[in-house]
Structure 1
Amino acid sequence: MIQQIIILLLFIAAALYVGRLVYKSFTAKSGCAKGCGACSTIDFNKIDKQVKAAAGK
């Protein structure tokens, strides 16, 4: 009986761990959809200047 309780507790802990990983993978971090931080390094003014320069050629 005690072995079954230990196995059940381990299974519940593993299910919670996997659930937490899945939850974290779908939640956005600091407004970025990917959560890697690359979105904060995008300089929209620089991109706008490059687009205007390319259109002017």
Structure 2
Amino acid sequence: MQTILMLVVFAGAVAYLGRMVYRSFRAKTSSAGCASGCGKCGAVDFNKIEQQLRQKGI
């Protein structure tokens, strides 16, 4: 029983890691231009952010 449970846990971990790798490669074709699409890379427009801050008076 323990062996079966460990195999299920191991298979789940492998599937999770495989899904993460697959999604990281698939996301590169997104319109954001980076792998994760979260905006932490060069896709951030700092000039636009600076303009918004100046408009708010910060």
TM range (shorter): 0.5 to 0.7
RMSD over equivalenced CA pairs, Å: 2.6
Q: Which has the higher helix share?
A: 1
TM-score, normalised via structure 1 length:
0.53
Percent of pairs with identical residues: 46
Residue 32 (structure 1) shift: 3.6
Pairing of 1:31-50 with structure 2 (within 5 A): 31-34=31-34, 35-37=37-39, 39=43
The runs of 4+ residues in structure 1 deviating greater than 4 Å are none
For structure 1, which runs of at least 5 residues remain unmatched after alignment? Answer: 42-57
The 3-state SS of whatever aligns with 1:27 is: helix
TM-score, normalised via structure 2 length:
0.52
Q: Larger relative contact order (C-alpha < 8 A, sep ≥ 6)? A: 2
For structure 2, which runs of at least 5 residues remain unmatched after alignment? Answer: 46-58
Please identify the structure whose Cα radius of gyration is greater.
1
